[in-house]
Amino acid sequence: RTLDGWLICAVMAFGALGDMLLEVAGLTIGAIAFLVGHLVAIGLYARWRRPRPSLSQILLAATLVPAVTVTAWLLPADRGGANGVAVYAFFLSLMAAFAWLSRFPRHRVGVGALMFVASDLLIFARTGPLAGLAWVSPAVWVLYFAGQALICVGVTHRLSRGESSR
């Protein structure tokens, strides 16, 4: 019923849309839907930013973005798609960094965002060094589903307490 409630609804809706588009329209179109969801999530988490994060929280967030972006760029066997993967991974990791630095419960929302990152890195690795390994696809789904569930539960629980983003 609040802007923040609608924002988490949009994040989850773009995730569901991305899942559907991955199947019917391919990786690039599905990734665009997920990217829009990441941008909405960044906006939500920025509204709920922690006023005085600890040094360790800042260092994790600052390290996460370049580490995930470079790792994602290195993973695809098809080097022609590596730059697009890196751009997507930049926004994915920015989403996770903002989640980590938000006032939402880190053991739910922050960890859920990191699970989402791990899931996507496995997707990229599945096209390169982990190609053909049977455990990768189930791991992608477990990490993705659990990550999204933790994000949604963590955000909605905090919002249900009636707190303000400011």
Please write the tens of the pLDDT for every residue from 57-69: 999 999 999 999 9
Q: Which residue has the tokens 């930013």?
A: 49
C-alpha closest to that of 155 among 51, 18, 43, 55: 43
pLDDT digits (tens, 9 = 90+) for 121-137: 999 999 999 999 999 99
Angstrom distance (rounded) from CA 35 to CA 55: 28
Q: CA–CA separation, 27 vs 19, rounded Å? A: 10
Residue 166 pLDDT = 66
Contact assessment for residue 57 and residue 46, using Cβ atoms and an 8 Å cutoff:
no
| Cβ 44 vs Cβ 14: under 8 Å | no
Does residue 163 register a pLDDT over 90? no
Residue with tokens 């963590």: 154
Q: What is the pLDDT of residue 84?
A: 95
- Report whether pLDDT(47) > 70: yes
Q: Which pTM value belongs to this model? A: 0.93
**With contact defined as beta carbons under 8 Å apart, do 36 and 14 qualify?**
yes
